[in-house]
């Protein structure tokens, strides 16, 4: 009998960013954050328990993976095994439909899908809060991809209290502008460490983000899209400011990215409401109302490949299985 489970999860885009950990061991963030789970670019992951005594295997987009991606997955599965009392190793097959290197946090959809599928096969609790807490251990932002539509991640005090949950918010749309599909040179994890260690602005970033989160939660409750957009843009630019203030400086935004922020500002001057945000990469995402999304996408199309996204589903189990890699048949 083969024991396997497959889950699908989507990336999320933060409107209040997570940038910094107070405990890297158990992945506690220094502040809470808030995001929209997207309805595009899913990751689908099958976890199959091994019946022999071979090692964990990771297959990514049809190719056997080694190095850091495999180490991260093995470390995560070690935690799952510790909690489940099982010693079984696993074959993990993952397919990611995001545009390659678009900076759409495939680690968030990846660990949300992995936590969901692994919890099913290793018989761990499968309620949303447990899944969110577990996904957080793989990649912080993954705890938000467990959640439908809009999520707040409570920073929490310990492992039990740091999780994401759904919040009510007005309908939003986002226009993803891929200005550069190249991978990033410095990982978020590395750059977060550098920020804590070297930026003179790190404490100000934490304090202002905690305040912004409160204001953002109020704007969501009140359905105030304009306030949500303004807060999100300011918070994103503050995050990039603190990142650039590290030694050595890390700069994720390129000239083309700044060009998109300029274009979004011009759209507002012309009466079309949109606000910019960007994660740890050069690509920019315009936040807007669903009714304006097509016009914003048209206006930004000259800056890169554009894609309109809407609020999407949280992680869930699905029936299909990810096919084995064609090379190196998984044993």
Chain residues binding ligand DP6 by CB under 6 A are 14, 17-19, 27, 33, 105, 107, 139-141, 188-189, 279-280
Among the listed residues 172, 198, 202, 201, the one whose alpha carbon sits nearest the alpha carbon of residue 292:
172
Q: In this complex, which beta carbon is closest to ligand DP6, that of residue 45 or of residue 48?
A: 45
Least Å distance, CB 103 to ligand DP6, is 8
Q: Which two tokens stand for residue 312?
A: 């999407």
SS3 242: helix
CA dist 104 and 277 (Å) reads: 12
Query: Cβ(192)–Cβ(31) under 8 Å?
Result: no
| Shortest Å, Cβ 187 to ligand DP6 | 7
Q: Measured at CB, which residue is nearest to ligand DP6?
A: 140
Q: Three-state SS for 120?
A: helix
What is the nearest approach in angstroms of ligand DP6 to the Cβ of residue 17? 4
Helix 106-121 vs helix 128-138: crossing angle, to nearest 10: 120
As measured in angstroms, the least distance from the Cβ of 14 to ligand DP6 is 3
Residue number, 187 or 266, with CB nearest to ligand DP6: 187
How many Cβ atoms are within 10 Å of 309's Cβ, its own excluded? 22
CB-nearer residue toward ligand DP6: 107 or 212: 107
Give DSSP secondary structure letters for 273-285: -EEEE--SSS-EE
User: Among residues 48 and 206, whose Cβ is nearest to ligand DP6?
Assistant: 206
The minimum distance between CB 168 and ligand DP6, in angstroms, equals 20
Q: Which is nearer to ligand DP6, 47 or 250 (CB)?
A: 250
């Amino acid at each position: 009998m083969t024991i396997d489970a497959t889950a699908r999860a989507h990336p999320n885009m933060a409107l209040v960013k997570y940038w910094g950990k107070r405990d890297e061991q158990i992945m506690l963030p220094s502040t809470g954050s808030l995001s929209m789970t997207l309805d595009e670019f899913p990751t689908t992951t099958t976890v199959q328990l091994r019946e022999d005594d071979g090692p964990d295997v990771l297959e990514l987009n049809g190719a056997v993976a080694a190095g850091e991606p495999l180490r991260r997955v093995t470390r995560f599965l070690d935690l799952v095994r510790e909690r489940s009392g099982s010693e079984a190793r696993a074959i993990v097959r993952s397919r990611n439909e995001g545009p390659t290197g678009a900076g759409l946090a495939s680690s968030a959809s990846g660990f949300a899908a992995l936590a969901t599928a692994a919890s099913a096969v290793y018989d761990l609790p499968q309620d949303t809060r447990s899944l969110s807490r577990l996904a957080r251990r793989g990649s912080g932002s993954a705890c938000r991809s467990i959640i439908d539509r809009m999520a707040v991640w409570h920073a929490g005090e310990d492992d039990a209290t740091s999780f994401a949950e759904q919040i009510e918010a007005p309908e939003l749309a986002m226009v993803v502008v891929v200005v550069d599909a190249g991978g990033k040179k410095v990982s978020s994890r590395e750059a977060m460490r550098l920020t804590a260690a070297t930026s003179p602005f790190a404490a100000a970033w934490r304090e202002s983000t905690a305040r912004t989160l409160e204001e953002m939660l109020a704007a969501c409750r009140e359905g105030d899209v304009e306030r949500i957009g303004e807060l999100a843009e300011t918070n994103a630019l503050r995050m990039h400011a603190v990142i650039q203030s590290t030694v050595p400086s890390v700069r994720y935004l390129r000239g083309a990215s700044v060009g998109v922020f300029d274009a979004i500002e011009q759209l507002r001057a012309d009466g079309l409401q949109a606000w910019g945000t960007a994660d740890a990469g050069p690509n920019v995402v315009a936040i807007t109302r669903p009714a304006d999304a097509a016009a914003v996408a048209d206006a930004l199309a000259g800056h890169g490949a554009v894609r309109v996204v809407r609020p999407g589903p949280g992680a869930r189990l699905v029936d299909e299985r990810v096919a084995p890699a064609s090379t190196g048949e998984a044993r």
